[in-house]
Chain A
């Protein structure tokens, strides 16, 4: 850890009803860790503990060189003094205050003047594309807007750690990609350690510099998306890290649209705001790849190609079929369709992917790519989007 003194280290045992959450992780300054795990794995318990709302039974939590919890030494910093900005799963906005004063609340509570706090609030509202909502009351907001206001409130406060619990769960599916880029850029701007709890592999892989997987109260794996893909430590990790990640260059597709051209595959994408020649990354969920024994006569999918099966892995009732493409794409099908298609290593197969299921994002520029993680995300966030205007 290069920024050890501004980072977060957690080594704690937290009682949680019938079991114990054993949390061991470190987050560097300006690093974002995506915390993934099934329901009931202890993610929210960890969030509440870091926020100071639950007490660990043993261990140590240190943030920016300051011990927050250390039961053995009698240390327990209360929530208000921890300098941890939290956006909980529910917005939990202050109903009697305007949106602007909600966002200004944390700044004001830590001693800033009303004017300074409002100024900072305005800046963060604009950062998240909410500048027109400042005078409204929380009751007048949609669920998605309320969630973004709660994010602005957490980010605007002068905190040493940002904790976001399912930050985009209430966003429309169409707005999620843009919301993610905005959020990534905002986190980079804060430059403090951040933990983003999510169910969504795509969110984890795009927002997180690293992924930490929690199952039944234990950290089962921690690493980059690539590391998780290569050596999944559990079926859950295998299932969630199985998202196909294809890097390539934007080019004109045969049908006039845009496509992402990689070594061995070309994926038509449903976006028209990228310039040909731009380096980009596509994410393809394994469930979005349909397999066929014969070339299908009619399909609405704009991506169709023939390939060969390399490997078949069973994960309970689901089966992952890896194809002989470059890079290798993994499709997920049911055990029943595996039987029907009679697939095994070496079997020729046709694959189809709807362009709308391919999520593509421009790669950061070469300059920023060489820079640190935070700068990388900042570049991503600058992508223009009508719903989420760039920062101030």
Chain B
């Protein structure tokens, strides 16, 4: 069947809509000043904080998502669907609301503020807050992806491994993890990209302190007000970083199980 012209035209329009901003970034960036901008202390610090915060957030998200996905995929208990709803809520929550929520929970005057203070821990406006903000918004991608992956596994294969003498950690390492690899890579990619781009929750909960909590997206926003050309360069840097991440994870996924 021939594809209707209207559909072709609509698809072309959509593709253009998505391509144009990226093309504009490339076209309008002051390339001659690019190295200069990227060498600025502000840019280098923002890059470092972005990498540290998003990397730590992804690791923390993995640690939280694995047991949660396991429970959601493998057990039945009353209220399971409510738990899933709460866990994925950050995906649809406006990030600034997430930030306000984090403040209300972990802020100095928040619900756990007193308890944290007693322990000598102060979260808001620290790098740890930036990590928590990024974890809060990115972990749901991992939970959903890992839950789907675990559902696709046959628990009887793990039983077979146990009858062959494998301990639970050995079964997890040699049977479950390799089988979860595609879900793990896909979920990690999505979560990392989301953590890298996080803005609203971070600026609300961790603030915009240069050298301490200012991530690349925050630096882009701040620079845009005073030096639009530099903001374009930083944006391209962020774009390049995300693309690199995507390619790297794709490469890992394509290589198949080791």
Question: Interface on A for B, CB 8 Å cutoff?
Answer: 51-53, 78-86, 88, 90, 92-97, 105-106, 109-110, 153, 157
B154, B156, B164, B179 pick with most chain A CB within 10 angstroms: B164
A92 contact set on B, CB distance < 8 A: 154, 156-157, 159-160
Chain B residues with CB below 8 A from A51, complex form: 159, 163
Q: How far is the CA of A208 from the CA of B175 in the complex (A)?
A: 33
The proximity string for B residues 95-137 relative to A, scoring 1 for CB distances below 8 Å and 0 otherwise, is 0000000000000000000000000000000000000000000
Map CB proximity to A onto B164-179 as digits: 1 under 8 Å, 0 otherwise: 1111001000110011
Give me the 6 closest cross-chain CB pairs, A-B, nearest first.
A96-B178, A106-B164, A96-B257, A109-B165, A79-B162, A109-B166
Contact (Cβ within 8 A) B156 A88:
yes
In angstroms, Cα B161 to Cα A81, docked, is 12
Indicate whether A94 sits within 8 Å of B161 (C-beta atoms), given known contacts A80-B167, A88-B156, A109-B170: yes
Count B interface residues, CB 8 Å.
19
Name B65-86 residues within 8 Å CB distance of A.
none
B48 within 8 A of A: no
Contact A106 B257 (CB under 8 A): no
Residue of A nearest to B154 (CB): A92
Closest to B166 in A: A109
Tell me whether A80 and B257 are in contact in the complex, defined as CB-CB below 8 angstroms, given that A94-B174, A95-B179 are known contacts: no
Contact indicator B159/A79 (Cβ below 8 Å): yes
**Cα of A110 to Cα of B179 in the assembled complex, Å:** 22
Contacts of B166 in A (CB 8 A): 80, 105-106, 109
- Tell me the smallest distance from the CB of B160 to a CB of chain A, in Å: 4
User: Bound complex: CA of A86 vs CA of B160, how far in Å?
Assistant: 7
CB-CB under 8 A for A52 and B163, given A92-B157, A94-B157, A95-B179: yes
Among residues 174 to 231 in chain B, which have CB atoms less than 8 Å away from a CB atom of chain A? Answer: 174-175, 178-179, 181
Cross-interface CB contact of A53 among B159, B165, B175, cutoff 8 Å: B159
The complex places the Cα of A52 from the Cα of B165 at a distance, in Å, of 12
Bound-complex Cα distance A96 to B256 (A): 9
Kindly provide the distance from the CB of A110 to the nearest chain B CB, expressed in whole angstroms. Answer: 4
Sampled A-B contacts (17; CB under 8 Å): A51-B163, A52-B162, A79-B159, A80-B164, A80-B166, A80-B167, A82-B163, A83-B165, A85-B163, A92-B157, A94-B161, A95-B178, A95-B257, A105-B166, A109-B161, A109-B164, A153-B164
Q: Which residue of A lies closest to B175 (CB)?
A: A94
Contacts of B179 in A (CB 8 A): 94-96
The residue among B160, B167, B179, B181 with the most chain A CB atoms within 10 A of its own CB is: B160
Q: What's the least CB distance linking B179 to chain A, in Å?
A: 6
CA distance A81 to B166 in the complex (A): 9
CB–CB A78/B156 < 8 A: no
Question: Which residue of A53, A88, A105, A110 has the most chain B CB atoms within 10 A of its CB atom?
Answer: A105
CA distance A153 to B257 in the complex (A): 21
- Which chain A residues border B162 with CB–CB below 8 Å? 52, 78-80
The 8 Å CB contact of A88, one of B160, B175, B257, is B160
Q: How far is the CB of B131 from chain A (nearest CB, A)?
A: 32
Who on chain A is nearest to B258 by CB? A96
Residues of chain A within 8 A of B161, CB atoms compared: 94, 105, 109
List residues of chain B with CB within 8 A of the CB of A85. Answer: 163-164
Q: Which chain A residue has the least Cβ–Cβ distance from B257? A: A96
Chain B residues with Cβ below 8 Å from A86 are 160, 163
Tell me how far the C-beta of B113 lies from the nearest C-beta in chain A, rounded to whole angstroms. 46
Q: How far is the CA of A79 from the CA of B163 in the complex (A)?
A: 5
Residue of A82, A84, A85, A109 ringed by the most chain B CB atoms within 10 A: A109
Of all chain A residues, which has the CB nearest B178? A96
Given contacts A95-B179, A106-B165, A109-B167, 19 further A-B contacts (CB under 8 A): A51-B159, A52-B162, A52-B163, A53-B159, A79-B162, A80-B163, A80-B164, A80-B166, A90-B156, A92-B154, A93-B157, A94-B174, A94-B178, A94-B179, A106-B164, A109-B161, A109-B165, A109-B166, A157-B164
Shortest Cβ distance from B170 into A: residue:
A109
Complex: A90 Cα to B164 Cα, angstroms: 15
Q: How far is the CB of B75 from chain A (nearest CB, A)?
A: 17
Complex: how many Å from CA A83 to CA B170?
Answer: 16
Q: Write the chain B residue with the least CB distance to A150.
A: B160
User: In the bound complex, how far is the Cα of B175 from the Cα of A94, in angstroms?
Assistant: 6
Complex CA distance for A106 and B166, rounded to whole angstroms: 7
A96: contacting residue among B156, B160, B181, CB under 8 A: B181
